[in-house]
Amino acid sequence: MKLKETLSDLVFSKSELKQDVFASTKSAFELFRSTAKTLLAQFQERNRMEKKDVRFDYIDRGDFEFEIRFGGDSLIFMMHTNVFEFSRNHEVMKSQYIREQPNRSYCGVIHIYNFLTDSFLYQRDNDLGYLIGRVFVNNESHYFIEGKRELGMLYNNFNTSVIDENSVQGIVESAIEYTTNFDLLTPPYDEIKVVSVGEMRNNFDKKMMVTAKRLGFRFQADTDV
């Protein structure tokens, strides 16, 4: 029995492509990590110089995840270990950049989530976080962003945008700006006006009341932000 040459070529070429995409994405993720640390250090220095009492923390969560905390907010940066392809109907597939070389559409992805810091400090497992942006990186280290407002409007030229220290700093700063401006709203009164004895005994704040900056799917369209 002999292995088909065409099959062998397919497996090797696709595997090598995905390895290159992974390497580019991991390199970009480490840029995010180092940039976040640097920015946090600058915040901490101003905090010290001006004798303010705002807390800034960096938390390492492993090779593919880290967290930064500032004020009452947390941003979690998470790199997915797999490589993705876009559907044929995705807008990026219509670009000349992809049509010239279809392999450019294979990307790794870095997610940026916003949570309330208190959700982790007080172990409120029912609290919600939001995906405020995701960064796609291909084997040529070109990238584009799908995201909310400050992030989503910054970069949309996949063919010319190359991930580097300056672009990563812009993304992290925009994520912090968006998060800071994305305020916590009180939940509707009717949703929390009745509580059982059991819920109160088991810690109302932790077990029953879901805390999030916005509740419902309207957030996705920014209709009430």
CB of 213 within 8 A of CB of 130?
yes
* Each residue's pLDDT tens digit, 69-105: 998 999 999 999 999 999 888 888 888 999 999 999 9
> Residue 76: inside a domain, yes or no?
yes
Which band of pLDDT confidence, cut at 50, 70 and 90, is reported for residue 29? Answer: very high
Average pLDDT over residues 26-42: 97
Within-domain flag for 225:
no
pLDDT at position 186 is 67
The token pair that represents 19 in the structure block:
């390895």
Of the ranges 13-22, 57-66, 118-127, which one carries the lowest mean pLDDT score?
118-127
pLDDT bracket for residue 224 (50, 70, 90): very low
Q: Is residue 56 in some structural domain?
A: yes
Supply 28's token pair.
């970009």
Residue that wins the pLDDT comparison between 141 and 149 = 141
* Beta-carbon-side half-sphere exposure of residue 211 (alpha carbons within 13 Å): 19
Q: Which residues contact 131 (CB under 8 A, 6 or more apart)?
A: 111, 112, 113
In a domain, 204, yes or no: no
User: Has residue 207 been placed in a domain?
Assistant: no
Share of the chain above pLDDT 70, in %: 78
Q: Could you tell me which of 176, 22, 35, 170 has the C-alpha nearest to residue 109?
A: 22
Asked, for residue 155, whether it belongs to a domain, the answer is: yes
pTM: 0.83
Indicate left, alpha or beta for 222 from its phi (over 0: left) and psi (-120 to 50: alpha).
left
- Tokens read off for 84: 């993705």
CB 78 within 8 A of CB 84: no
197: in domain: no
Averaged pLDDT for residues 22-44: 97
| Domain total in the chain | 1
Is the Cβ–Cβ distance between 84 and 109 less than 8 Å? yes
- pLDDT for res 122: 82
Q: What share of the chain has pLDDT > 90, as a percent? A: 53
Q: What local confidence, expressed as pLDDT, does residue 51 receive?
A: 92
Residue 90's domain spans which residues? 5-183
> Which has more pLDDT, 141 or 132?
141
Q: Is residue 17 part of a domain?
A: yes
**CA terminus-to-terminus distance, the chain:** 63
pLDDT of residue 193: 65
Question: pLDDT digits over 156-215, tens only?
Answer: 688 899 999 999 999 999 999 989 987 766 666 776 666 666 666 666 555 455 666 654
Of the candidates 31, 20, 172, the one whose C-alpha atom is nearest the C-alpha of residue 107 is: 20
Confidence tier at 221 by pLDDT (50, 70, 90): very low
Confidence grade of residue 223 (pLDDT, cut at 50, 70, 90): very low
